[in-house]
Chain A
Amino acid sequence: MKKVRARLLLLLLVLLISIVCFLPSFPHLYLALPTWMKSIVPNKGIALGLDLQGGIHMVLEVDEDRAVEIAVDRSVVAIQDLLVEKKIPAESVKRTSPTRIVIQFQNADLKAQIQKLLDEFPTFTEVDSAGSGNTIAWELRETESKRIKDSAINQALETIRNRIDQFGVAEPLVQRQGLKQIVVQLPGVRDPKRAKDLIKETALLEFKMLDEDNQMKLDLPSRIPKDREAEVLKQAEAKLPEGSQVLFERAVERDTGREYRIPYLVKKRVMLTGDVLSDARVSIGQFNDPYVSITFDAKGGREFERITGENVKKRMAIVLDNTIYSAPVIQERISGGRAQITGTFSTQEANDLAIVLRAGALPAPLKIIQDLTVGPSLGKDSIEKGVRATLIAGAVVIGFMVVYYRLSGVIANFALVLNLICLMGALSALNATLTLPGIAGIVLTIGMGVDSNVLIFERIREELRAGKAVRLAVDGGYDKALLTIVDSHVTTLITGVALFLFGTGPIKGFAVTLCLGIAINLFTALVGTKVIFDIINQRHKVEQLSI
C-alpha cells in the first residue's frame, strides 16, 4: 500500500517540477508571480527557433588565403617606405604570388644593401630568385602564414561580435565552427538584408593621396554611369603609372537621385588605416546631410597631423573597401585627432558605417556559404498552424481513446496530458529551442504516448478474457507489456540520439523533443497510469473494469 503512495508522490512531484519549469515560457503569467516565487522558478523558458520567430542563420567562411595576401601587401608598402627612407633607389617592389615579394633594382651593387633590410622583416626568408642579379625574392615563412590564417578567423569572430553587439539583436549567437567557419544566428531580425551587409562588409578604411600629377595624363572622364567602371579601368590600364590605381567615388545627383561614379587616380600607398580609430559617430551637417565624424587614437592623431601638415593643398581620398567616400582638399594641418567622412549616404547608411568603423575591419573578406532567412510573418504562420495541428491531433486521439477504452481511455488521456506537461517542463528546464520540426516531434509524442497504454490495455483485455480478476489482470497486463514497451521505446530512442548527434538546427530540435518525449512516455505509461489503476483497485473492489 505504501508503495502506491510513494509512487503517487513521485508523480505529483514530477508534475509540480514540470509546471514550475514551464512557467517562464508564458511571460505574462510569469511576471504576475509574487517575487518570492520568481526567485525559485527558473527565469528562462523555451526559446523559439529561427524558423518560428524569424531571423537569420548564416555560416560564413573566412577567405584565409586573402588574409595572407593582404598581410603580404602591407609588407610590400612597408618595404617601399623603408627603401625611400634609406634612399635606396629600387625600381619596384611587387607581390608576385600570394606569399612572395620580388624587389627589382637597376644597379646590381644595391643587392647587398637590400638584402640587409631583411633583418627588419623577420617573417620573410630570402629565396633563390633564379633570375638576373637584379632581383631579390622574399618568401613569407610557413609558420607566419599559418599564424595569419589562425588569427584571421579569431579576429573576424571578434569583429562580427562587436558589430552585432552594436547593431542590437536580442540573444545573438556568433560561434566558430570547425576550422574556418563562423556561425551567426540573429533571431527576430526585422531587416535581414541590412544585418547581412553589416556583417559581411570588410570595412577596411584607408586614407590615400590622390595622384594629381598624373591624373591629367590619364584623361579620366569626370563622371560615369554606375555600371561602367570596368570599361574605364580597362582604358586606363595601359597608361597607369607605377604605384597608382583608379578608384571610384559613389555619388548621387541631388535632383534626380540617380547614382553615378567619379573616377580618381589614387596613389596605392596607404597613409593611414582604420586601425588607429578610437571612435566613430554619426553627425548631421548643415544641409541635413549625415556624415560620420571619426576620432583617432593618440598615435593616429599625431600621424594624421603629420600627414595633413605635409600635404596641405593636396587632395586626400577616404577609401572604404576600395570605394572612395570623399576626396577633400586638405586646407591646413589638422590637429586634435578628428576628421569627418562625408559622402552620399542616408542616415541609416551613415549609422552602419559608424558601426563597422567602431567595430574594426575584417582581416579578410567573408564568404557566405549558408544563409537561412525566415521572415517574421512565416514564423507566426508556422506557430499558428503547428499549434492548431497539435490541438486537432490531441483532440482526435483523446476522443478515440475515450470511445475505444472508456474509463481506461480517460486514464490514458490523463497520462497523455501529464506527458505533454512534463515534456514542456523538460524542454523549458533544458532551455531547449523549439523548432517547427520540434512541434512535429511533440505531435508525434502524442501519438506514440498513447501507444504504450494501448499495448498495456490490450494485454489487460487479454487477461480479462482469460478469466482473471480485475486486479490480477491489470498487474499481469502491465508486467507482460513492460518489456515490449521498453524495447519499442529504446529502438526509437536510438534513432533519436543518432539524429541529435548528426542533425543541425531544426533537426536537432526535432531530435530533442522526440528523445525527451520517449523518455517521459516511458515514465508516464509505467508509473502514471498504473498508480491510478492501483488507487482505484485499492479503494473499491472493482468487479468490472471499464476498458
Chain B
Amino acid sequence: MLEILGKTNVDFMGKRRYAFLFSGIMVVLGIIGLIQIARGAANLGIDFAGGTAVQLKFDQAIGIEEARKALETNGLGNAELQEFGQENKLLIRVKASTTIEEKTAEKVVSIFTKEFPGNRFVVESSTEIGPTIGKKLQSDALVAIVISFAGIILYIAARFELRFGVAAALATFHDVLAVLGAFFILDKEITLLVVTALLTLAGYSLTDTVVVFDRIRENLRLRRREHEVTMVNNAINQVLSRTIVTSLTVVLVLIPLTLGGGEVLHDFSLALLWGVIFGTYSSIFVASPLLLLWPGGSGRLLKRA
C-alpha cells in the first residue's frame, strides 16, 4: 500500500509550547480584528457596512490610476478600486457614507461613460445596500455564529466528556480567529461570504478534531496504564495519516476553486483553504494539548467510559 507517512512517532505534545506561542499570536490578531469589526474600523464588505459596489467589464484595458482620477474629479474620491486579472474588469466600491437615494451606481456608470468614451463597458453587477440591511445582516451573522457554536459544544460535550467539548470548541474558536486574523493583517474585506466560510471551516475543523479525539478516547479505554502525554502522542501518531489525507483531499478541491473559481468565490475559498490548514494544525497542536491542560490529572481521565 502507498503511504504518505509510515509509522510515525513524533512527540507532538513536547512541542506544544511553540504551538501555543504561535496560536496565541494568531488568536490575538483575530481578537484585534474582531474588536475592529465591532468598532466599525475593520475592512467590512458593503454587505455589512452598506454602500455601493459596481463591477464593470471594459473592452480595452483600463488603468486603475486613470479610473481613480476620473472618479475623483467627479466627486467620488472615496471609492475603492480593484482590478481583476487580464479580463479588464474593474470593481468600484463606495462605502456607507452614501445612501441608495443618491444613486451612486448610476453615477459611477455615467462617470465612466463620460470620461472614457472610447472604451465601451458592460455593467457586470451592481450592488447597493442600505445601512439598515447591513445592520440586519450583521446581527443575523452573529446569531448564526452563536447558534452553531453552542450546537457544536453541546454535541461534542454530549458525545464525549465536557472537557473534550470545551477543548474542541476552543480549538475551533482558534481556527476561526486565526483565519480572521490573517484576513485582518492582509486587509482583506470581510464580506458575508467570508463569514459563511468562517462558519463552514468551524464545522470542518471540528471534523478533524473529532477524528483525533475519537482515537484518544479509544486509547483511554484500552491502555489505562500509559502516561497521559504518551497516550495523546500515540493517538495523534496513529491517526496522523488519515488526518493529513482527509485534509489533503479538501485542500486539493479548494485550490482549483481559489485559483479558478472567479472573483466572487476567491476570498471565500481562500478563507476555507486557510481554515482547513489551521484546522488540521489545531486538532494536533491546540485541541489535544488543551485536553492535557484540563485540571484533574490522569486519575479522572476515564470518568464515564
Partner-B contacts on A (CB < 8 A) = 51, 59, 192-193, 367-375, 377-378, 381-382, 385-386, 388-389, 392-394, 396-397, 400-401, 403-406, 436-437, 439-440, 443-444, 446-448, 450-451, 454-455, 458, 461-462, 483-484, 487-499, 501-504, 506-507, 510, 514, 547
Contacts and interface: CB of A to CB of B under 8 A. Distances in A.
Interface residues of B, number: 70
A150 to B, nearest CB: 20
B192 A496 contact: no
B262 A386 contact: yes
Main secondary structure of the interface of B (DSSP, over half): helix
Contacts of A483: 214
Contacts of A403: 2
Contact of B210 (A192, A439, A487): A487
A385 B262 contact: yes
Contacts of A488: 206-207, 210-211
A393 B128 contact: no
A403 B133 CA distance: 49
B128 to A, nearest CB: 4
Given A371-B126, A372-B125, A487-B210, A506 B257 contact: no
A447 B196 contact: no
B146 to A, nearest CB: 9
A375 B89 CA distance: 13
B155 A492 contact: no
A231 B106 CA distance: 25
A498 B141 CA distance: 10
A368 B272 CA distance: 33
Contact of B100 (A192, A367, A451): A367
Contacts of B144: 498-499, 501-503
A52 B106 CA distance: 23
A374 B130 contact: no
Contacts of B101: 367
Contact of B269 (A378, A440, A487, A494): A440
A162 B261 CA distance: 39
6 contacts: A371-B100, A393-B257, A396-B256, A448-B207, A491-B207, A492-B203
Interface in B118-176: 122-130, 132-133, 137, 140-141, 143-145, 147-148, 151-152, 155-156, 159
Interface of B: 1-2, 4, 55, 57, 100-101, 105-106, 122-130, 132-133, 137, 140-141, 143-145, 147-148, 151-152, 155-156, 159, 192-193, 196, 199-200, 202-204, 206-207, 210-211, 214, 238-239, 241-242, 245-246, 248-257, 260-262, 264-265, 268-269, 272
Contacts of B159: 487
Contacts of B155: 487, 490-491, 494
Given A396-B253, A397-B253, A450-B249, A510 B196 contact: yes
Main secondary structure of the interface of A (DSSP, over half): helix
Contacts of B245: 404, 454, 458
A461 B3 CA distance: 10
Nearest to A381: B262
Contact of B252 (A393, A439, A510, A514): A393
A499 to B, nearest CB: 6
Contacts of B152: 491, 494-495
Nearest to A395: B256
Contacts of B133: 59, 369-370
Contacts of B4: 404
A400 B128 contact: no
Contact of A451 (B2, B122, B124, B249): B249
Nearest to A449: B249
A406 B2 CA distance: 9
A491 B156 contact: yes
B156 to A, nearest CB: 7
Contact of B143 (A381, A443, A448, A502): A502
A405 to B, nearest CB: 8
A112 to B, nearest CB: 47
A446 B246 CA distance: 11
A195 B102 CA distance: 18
A381 B55 CA distance: 13
A400 B252 contact: yes
Contacts of A404: 2, 4, 245
Most buried by A among B137, B147, B252: B252
A495 B200 contact: yes
A498 B151 contact: yes
Nearest to B146: A498
